[in-house]
Amino acid sequence: MSDPNAPTESKSARTRSAIIDAALRLFREKGYDDTTMRAIAAEAGVSVGNAYYYFDSKERLIQGFYDRAQVDHAIAARSVLDSETDLARRIIGVTDAWLQTMEPYRQFAGKFFKNAAEPTSPLSPFSPESSPARLAAIELWREVLEGSDTRIPKKLRADLPELIWLYFMGIVLFWVYDPTPDSSATRKVSARTAPLVVRAIGLTRLPVVGGMLDDIVALIGEVRQVFPTTEETT
């Protein structure tokens, strides 16, 4: 239960990841719907029932996809993070890195989003189960901000990474609906909106806008209270 290096665990861990491997391979080749649990089990060399011993449902296999995507994205984003200092270009670059990472899974992205969209689903990006992946993602966007030469107004410093992540979720949402075969529409929207985001951050310093911002920040704080987000460590 708390002994991660026990050799006992590695066997089951290997079975576990064999199932994810098989699942993702088949998802990529044939799409989500056309991949049956029987096929996944066969490909992984286990029985159907055994696959269900490790994963509650077919949807749960997508969580494995999530986690890997998150890691791959962080890797793909590295070069931009280390070389670029202009904020807008950092945002665009990191978004592009995501698009490249996701390309192979494009065709079943819709399905994966569909599952993520159901609030009661553990796959929802806002669910407790997704907390680690979400927090890691927000952390990535914090680095995007902090490594740039744009100065962030004090008021915003705490919440901005999460807000940018939300903006990015919007881009992802757009991508899911994007009918262009090479995601060019998404790339265009990203390239056009990122400078606007940066400008909006600047506008925050105007008194009128700043007043509105105070309201928004306060509202965000209150809303956070409503959701059970496992973040309070008291």
Output helix, strand, coil percentages for the chain, rounded to the nearest 5: 75, 0, 25
Per rule CB under 8 A, is residue 6 in the interface with a second copy? no
- Distance CA(102)–CA(65), nearest Å, equals 10
- The encoded tokens of residue 120 equal 């009661």
Tell me which stretch binds a second copy (CB under 8 A): 42-50, 83-91, 131-139, 218-226: 218-226
- Does residue number 50 form part of the binding site for DNA (CB under 7 A)? yes
CA distances (Å), origin 31, targets 12, 47, 108, 155 = 27, 21, 6, 45
- Closest separation in Å from C-beta 187 to DNA: 33
Report d(CA 39, CA 140) in Å as an integer. 36
Dig out the tokens for 133 from the structure.
């992946």
Q: Amino acid identity, residue 118?
A: E
State which of positions 52-71 bind DNA (CB under 7 A): 52-53, 56-59
Which one of 56, 68, 85, 126 is in contact with a second copy (CB under 8 A)?
A: 126
The DSSP result for 59-105, as a single string, is THHHHHHHHHHHHHHHHHHHHHHHH---HHHHHHHHHHHHHHHHGGG
Q: Are 24 and 74 in contact (CB under 8 A)?
A: no
47 binds DNA per the rule CB under 7 A: yes
Tell me, by CB under 8 A, how many residues bind a second copy. Answer: 38
Smallest distance, Å, CB 145 to a second copy? 20
> For residue 152, what are its two tokens?
């962030």
Q: Does 196 bind DNA (CB under 7 A)?
A: no
* Residue type for position 231: E
Binding footprint of DNA, residue count (CB under 7 A): 20
Pick 32 or 141: Cβ nearer a second copy? 32
List the one residue from 10, 47, 83, 180 that touches a second copy (CB under 8 A).
Answer: 180
If the CB atoms of residues 44 and 190 are measured against a second copy, the closer one turns out to be 190
Q: What is the pattern of x (binds DNA, CB under 7 A) and - over residues 22-41?
A: -------------xxxx---
Q: Provide the mask over 12-51, with x wherever binding to a second copy is found by CB under 8 A and - wherever it is not.
A: ----------------------------------------
- Rounded distance between C-alpha atoms, residue 59 and residue 48, angstroms: 15
User: Out of a second copy, DNA, none, which partner does residue 231 contact, by CB within 5 to 8 A per kind?
Assistant: none
Residues that bind DNA (CB under 7 A): 8-9, 11-12, 15, 35-38, 46-50, 52-53, 56-59
